[in-house]
């Protein structure tokens, strides 16, 4: 390809191609839809809607209905069970991607094919090219906390694994990463180990061995980086000793890991002393990433949405290093690239690539009693909020992704989106409507009270307790250390009063929603939840803490209930 010169990526060429695509996004969108429908118009699913060979947007919208994953699940199950007929796509679906499963309690099956892999590479190359313009890197290494989940075969013999696993195991991905001069510090044996705890330890060890070559520290999600350096706090002396002795510690049992790491480890007392002294000199691990890997240019990963609560801890570890939010996508496919890398993660925007799928947007107008009609990519308006609808090359047609976004501007003629949250309500009992973002803001407001005792919320989730009359919100916190009853009672009251929704405030005042309950969890509870989802097939790097645990997540509910050590109820709700 033109952008690959002598095995290296030419960022200027990639940016030029992106600029050309986005100058006439409307035309590219029509061509993309036409291409998808011409390829797949004779499939079972599209034939059902009687398009009669039409490929224009108006005909497509009038014939093909909006759908959710639940609508498509019977078709996807048939594919997974081995039906070879053209159900969604003319080309056979050869791989199934698994979502993290944190929302519904079990992973979703999503069709994956070579076109989605090509989309992934295009997104990666585009965002890297814009990043490299602002933060140029040389021939270095990336300390990437990435993990391939266990793959399995469906009843029909298709390979099934997380979307990240499908990407990491592909040679095109490895070639692209080498072309971007950011090959991973860790060998494949570490990335694809089935023991995630041992794999994380070895990722850290690989990074320390190559400490002066590390130019980027990354993971799929911000949580993965925070989790890694929380682990470093616990294991750093073992890591130093491994480097000093040139031998992997005995608690790493996986043979493939021991073999792979033996090829990298040699006794290095000098490096061990440097790391040891650096760690002793740190105050509460502030700036540990910058201290250990002084040639790092930036920290990279998805930092929006449910990842925002981890930014404070990530900044603590990073000190002066820039935090750059990775691109916007889902298990179902990619949406846009971050072409403004200097924006703070909380303000990150994503320019939609108009050739990777066909996109529609449902205006979110809460005052309207009629469901608004979807509009096209170039018809959206700045500062308006929308729900995204995706049509892609892997067989999703007018698929409601469930994400709420806000249009912050345009790059040429393609919109730049800011991710808001999932559209589905997290917490609702009566007329209250509190989203993931509302929950996050309430937790942040209450957590400021912990700062005076140098405590922090390690992680949190929520739920509804309907066993009481009236029902009430339950917020679960895992804390860095023990807090006084007086402080936690104050936090509980602050939580209750920090939800912005008028329906909640009114319902609390008239007592149609009961007092908010704050439940404090044992240390390690969220690690148990992570382990549960890994057992279901999720990759550690793809894990997202479920922010609301409902009845569909019975196992997670049981983990939470079994690990409560204290609980508090808010006092009567009054106007301030």
Q: Are 149 and 94 in contact (CB under 8 A)?
A: no
Instruction: Tell me the C-alpha distance between 507 and 502, whole Å.
Output: 8
Mean pLDDT along residues 419-432: 79
User: With bands split at pLDDT 50, 70 and 90, how would you rate the model's confidence at 346?
Assistant: very high
pLDDT at 227: 92
pLDDT at 209: 96
Q: Which residues contact 558 (CB under 8 A, 6 or more apart)?
A: none
Mean pLDDT along residues 511-524: 92
Kindly tell me if the per-residue pLDDT of 104 is higher than 60: no
Q: Are 343 and 409 in contact (CB under 8 A)?
A: no
Read off φ and ψ for residue 561, nearest 5 degrees.
-65, -35
pLDDT at 467: 87
User: With bands split at pLDDT 50, 70 and 90, how would you rate the model's confidence at 181?
Assistant: low
Strands 399-411 and 358-363 come out as unpaired
Q: Tell me which H or E stretch contains 376.
A: strand 375-376
pLDDT at 423: 73
pLDDT at 97: 78
pLDDT at 2: 47
pTM value is: 0.86
| Between 108 and 133, the higher pLDDT residue | 133
Kindly tell me if the per-residue pLDDT of 327 is higher than 70: yes
Kindly tell me if the per-residue pLDDT of 438 is higher than 70: yes
pLDDT at 576: 41
pLDDT at 212: 94
Mean pLDDT along residues 510-518: 89
Instruction: Tell me the C-alpha distance between 137 and 175, whole Å.
Output: 17
Distance between first and last Cα of the chain: 63
Kindly tell me if the per-residue pLDDT of 384 is higher than 70: yes
> Which residue in this structure is represented by tokens 């995630």?
196
Mean pLDDT along residues 474-498: 93
Kindly tell me if the per-residue pLDDT of 13 is higher than 50: yes
Kindly tell me if the per-residue pLDDT of 182 is higher than 90: no
Residue length, the chain? 576
User: With bands split at pLDDT 50, 70 and 90, how would you rate the model's confidence at 568?
Assistant: very high
> What percent of the chain shows pLDDT beyond 90?
58
Please, what is the average pLDDT of the chain? 88
The Cβ of residue 378 has, within 10 Å, a number of other Cβ atoms equal to 18
Mean pLDDT along residues 163-180: 69
Output the six-digit token pair for 389. Answer: 């609808």
Mean pLDDT along residues 165-184: 70
Condensed to tens digits (0 to 9), the pLDDT of residues 392-410 reads 998 899 999 988 899 999 9
The Cβ of residue 170 has, within 10 Å, a number of other Cβ atoms equal to 16
Distances (CA, A) of 113 to 40, 121, 201: 14, 13, 32
Residue-wise DSSP of 306-367: GGGGGHHHHHHHHTTSPEEE--EEETTEEEEE---TTS-GGG--EEE-TTS-EEEEEE--TT
Instruction: Tell me the C-alpha distance between 355 and 20, whole Å.
Output: 11
User: With bands split at pLDDT 50, 70 and 90, how would you rate the model's confidence at 139?
Assistant: confident
Kindly tell me if the per-residue pLDDT of 330 is higher than 50: yes
Read off φ and ψ for residue 519, nearest 5 degrees.
-110, 125
- Report the b/e string of 10-37 with b at 16+ CB within 10 A: bbebbbebbeebbebbeebbbebbbebb
Q: Are 98 and 161 in contact (CB under 8 A)?
A: yes
Condensed to tens digits (0 to 9), the pLDDT of residues 463-478 reads 999 888 889 999 999 9
Can you list the alpha helix ranges (DSSP code H) found in 510-553?
525-535
Q: Which of 73-77, 80-84, 549-553 has the highest mean predicted lDDT (pLDDT)?
A: 73-77
Mean pLDDT along residues 157-175: 72
Q: Left, alpha or beta for 288 (phi > 0: left; psi -120 to 50: alpha)?
A: alpha
| Between 333 and 276, the higher pLDDT residue | 276
- Give every strand in the sheet of 358-363, ordered side by side: 328-330, 333-337, 350-352, 414-422, 399-411, 385-391, 358-363, 375-376
Strands 358-363 and 350-352 come out as unpaired
Residue-wise DSSP of 28-79: HHHHHHHHHHHHHTTSHHHHTTT-TT--SHHHHHHHSPPB-HHHHHHHHHHH
Condensed to tens digits (0 to 9), the pLDDT of residues 211-269 reads 999 999 999 889 999 999 999 999 999 999 999 999 999 999 999 999 999 999 999 99
Mean pLDDT along residues 86-91: 88
Mean pLDDT along residues 530-548: 78
User: With bands split at pLDDT 50, 70 and 90, how would you rate the model's confidence at 533?
Assistant: confident
């Amino acid at each position: 390809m033109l952008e690959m010169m002598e095995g290296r990526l030419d960022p200027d060429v990639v940016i030029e191609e992106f600029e050309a695509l986005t100058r006439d996004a409307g035309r590219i969108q029509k061509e993309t839809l036409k291409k998808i429908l011409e390829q797949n118009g004779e499939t079972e699913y599209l034939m059902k809607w009687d398009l009669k060979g039409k490929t224009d947007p108006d005909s497509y919208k009038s014939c093909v209905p909006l759908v959710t994953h639940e609508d498509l699940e019977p078709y996807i199950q048939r594919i997974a069970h081995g039906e070879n007929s053209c159900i969604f796509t003319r080309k056979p679906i050869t791989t199934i991607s698994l979502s993290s499963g944190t929302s519904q309690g079990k992973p979703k099956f999503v069709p994956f094919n070579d076109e989605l892999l090509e989309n992934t590479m295009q997104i990666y190359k585009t965002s890297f090219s814009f990043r490299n313009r602002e933060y140029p890197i040389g021939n270095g290494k990336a300390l990437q906390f990435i993990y391939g989940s266990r793959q399995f075969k469906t009843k029909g013999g298709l390979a099934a694994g997380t979307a990240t696993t499908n990407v990491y195991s592909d040679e095109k991905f490895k070639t692209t990463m080498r072309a971007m001069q950011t090959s991973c510090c860790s060998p494949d044996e570490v990335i694809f180990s089935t023991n995630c705890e041992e794999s994380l330890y070895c990722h850290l060890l690989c990074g320390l061995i190559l400490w002066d070559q590390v130019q980027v520290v990354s993971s799929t999600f911000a949580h993965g980086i925070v989790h890694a350096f929380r682990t470093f706090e616990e294991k750093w002396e073992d890591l130093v000793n491994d480097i000093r002795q040139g031998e992997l510690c005995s608690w790493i049992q996986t043979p493939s890991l021991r073999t792979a790491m033996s090829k990298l480890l040699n006794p290095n007392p000098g490096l061990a002393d440097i790391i040891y002294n650096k760690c002793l000199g740190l105050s509460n691990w502030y700036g540990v990433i910058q201290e250990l890997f002084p040639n790092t240019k930036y920290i990279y990963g998805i930092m929006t949405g449910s990842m925002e609560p981890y930014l404070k801890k990530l900044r603590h570890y990073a000190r002066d290093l820039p935090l750059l939010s990775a691109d916007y996508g889902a298990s179902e496919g990619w949406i846009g690239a971050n072409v403004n890398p200097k924006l703070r993660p909380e303000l990150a925007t994503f320019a939609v690539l108009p050739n990777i799928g066909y996109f529609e947007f449902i205006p979110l107008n809460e005052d309207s009693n009629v469901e608004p009609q979807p509009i096209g990519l170039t018809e959206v308006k700045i500062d308006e909020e929308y729900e995204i609808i995706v049509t892609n090359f892997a067989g999703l047609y007018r698929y409601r992704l469930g994400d709420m976004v806000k249009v912050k501007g345009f790059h040429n003629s393609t919109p730049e989106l800011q991710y808001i949250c999932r559209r589905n309500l997290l917490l609702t009992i009566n007329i209250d409507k509190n989203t993931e973002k509302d929950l996050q803001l309430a937790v942040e407001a209450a957590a400021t009270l912990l700062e005076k005792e140098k405590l922090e919320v390690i992680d949190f989730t929520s739920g509804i307790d309907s066993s009481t009359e009236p029902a009430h919100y339950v917020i679960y916190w895992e804390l860095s250390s023990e807090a006084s009853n007086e402080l936690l009672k104050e936090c509980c009251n602050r939580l209750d009063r920090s939800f912005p929704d008028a329906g909640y405030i009114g319902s609390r005042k008239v007592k149609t929603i009961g007092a908010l309950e704050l439940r404090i969890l044992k240390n390690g509870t969220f690690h148990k939840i992570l382990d549960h989802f890994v057992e279901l097939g999720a990759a550690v790097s793809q894990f997202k803490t479920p922010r609301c645990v409902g009845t569909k997540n019975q196992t997670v509910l049981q983990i939470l209930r079994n690990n409560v050590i204290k609980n508090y109820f808010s006092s009567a709700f009054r106007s301030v």
